[in-house]
Amino acid sequence: MIAIKKIETPIVLFGVTFAILFSYITYSTIGLRHFLVFAIGIGLGFSLYKAAFGFTGGWRNFIEKRDSSALRAQFLMLALAAIVFSFVIGSKSFIYDGTILGAIAPVSLSVVIGSFIFGLAMQLGGGCGSGTLFTAGSGNTKMVITLFFFIIGSLAGTYHFAFWSSLPSLGAISLLDNYTLIETLTFQLGLISILYLFVFILDKKKNKITDYNNIFRFTSSNLLQGPWPLFFGFCAFGAV
pLDDT digits (tens, 9 = 90+) for 118-138: 888 877 777 777 777 777 777
For residue 3, the model assigns a pLDDT of 43
- Do residues 147 and 198 both lie within one domain? no
Domain membership of residue 42 (yes or no) is no
- Do residues 110 and 156 both lie within one domain? yes
For residue 238, the model assigns a pLDDT of 60
Domain membership of residue 27 (yes or no) is no
Find out whether 49 and 126 touch, Cβ atoms under 8 Å: no
Domain membership of residue 222 (yes or no) is no
Domain of 178 in residue numbering reads as 54-90+174-215
Domain membership of residue 7 (yes or no) is no
Domain membership of residue 10 (yes or no) is no
- Do residues 178 and 144 both lie within one domain? no
Domain membership of residue 224 (yes or no) is no
- Do residues 163 and 114 both lie within one domain? yes
- Do residues 85 and 188 both lie within one domain? yes
Using 70 as the pLDDT threshold, list the residues of the chain that sit under it.
1-9, 11-12, 52-54, 93-98, 210-212, 214, 216-227, 229-240
For residue 161, the model assigns a pLDDT of 87
Task: Give the chain's domain count.
Answer: 2
- Do residues 117 and 65 both lie within one domain? no
Alpha carbon distance 208, 198 (integer Å): 15
For residue 135, the model assigns a pLDDT of 76
Domain membership of residue 157 (yes or no) is yes
- Do residues 141 and 196 both lie within one domain? no
- Do residues 132 and 144 both lie within one domain? yes
Kindly report whether the global pTM for this prediction surpasses the value 0.85. no
Domain membership of residue 220 (yes or no) is no
